[in-house]
Amino acid sequence: MFLKGCSLRCPWCSNPENLRQYPETYIKDGLNGVYGKYYTSEELLKEVLKDRNYYDGKIDQKDWQIKDSKKIESLPGGVTFSGGEALLQMSAIVPVCEFLHGQGIHIAVETCLFVPSESVKLALENIDFFYIDIKILDAEKCKAVEHGDLNVYLSNLNTVMKAGVPVVIRIPVIGSFTEDEHNRKAVHDLIKMSTEAGGNILKIELIKEHNLGESKYKSLGMELVYHGVEDELMEQYKVELSDLGILTEVCKI
């Protein structure tokens, strides 16, 4: 479920239609349309349960708290809240989460963690699996480029790590923004510190920059910033993270 609204404005975002937390008109291929629709909890659940047959519920809920990357594939599938930034609407989706758990349905979230701490606490009470981004770790650059408060992110990341929930770290490798040596070293050190704080990091995914969202930018009268990175850098980055002892994959789209 892609929820609209985001606290950041990353110039490489692949889902620009989800940046603003309200429906937006667009023009694409000469046709008018609307990105986004308001749903009640009941309407949202109705949509989710249409796909219930694809959720494998054979694994008991007590076994969802995995600590081994090899067991990721054993999780039953279910619902993933994405965005935008899904946690901005966390209080509104709590009833949905409660119903899904009552049905034995596993819940994941994709988050940048630039949200109020209360939203993170609610998420830890209602969500089973976290995909967490690590982007720009220089406070001034983070503010200037992403419009984010790095201290908010670091505090929330620490809260999630101490909770010990299953986490996959996703690192967008973006030319001129996140791929430089200084940021790569900062990412390495943050992940190391997070594991030492008790973080249950199952896997690291290095996401290579792409421009697949360009048509959506054009449909909204916006421009995608794209510089690109070389495959060699992606492999080098993987090597630089290898001493952490965490399964690391290079993801090219």
Hey, what domains does the chain have and what are their CATH numbers? 16-251 (3.20.20.70)
Q: What angle do CA 86, 87, 91 make, to 5 degrees?
A: 115
- Whole-number Cα distances in Å, 247 to 73, 136, 250: 14, 22, 10
* Closest C-alpha among 39, 75, 50 to residue 166: 75
Q: What is the pLDDT along the chain (253 residues), one digit of tens a residue?
A: 999 999 999 999 999 999 999 999 999 999 999 999 999 999 999 999 999 888 877 788 999 999 999 999 999 999 999 999 999 999 999 999 999 999 999 999 999 999 999 999 999 999 999 999 999 999 999 999 999 999 999 999 999 999 999 999 999 999 999 999 999 999 999 999 999 999 999 999 999 999 999 999 999 999 999 999 999 999 999 999 999 999 999 998 7
Q: What is the pLDDT of residue 59?
A: 85
Structure tokens given for 243: 């001493």
- Whole-number Cα distances in Å, 99 to 61, 85, 229: 14, 21, 43
Q: What is the DSSP letter of 48?
A: H
Q: What is the pLDDT of residue 109?
A: 98
Q: What is the pLDDT of residue 58?
A: 76
* Closest C-alpha among 1, 22, 24, 20 to residue 9: 20
Q: What is the pLDDT of residue 135?
A: 98
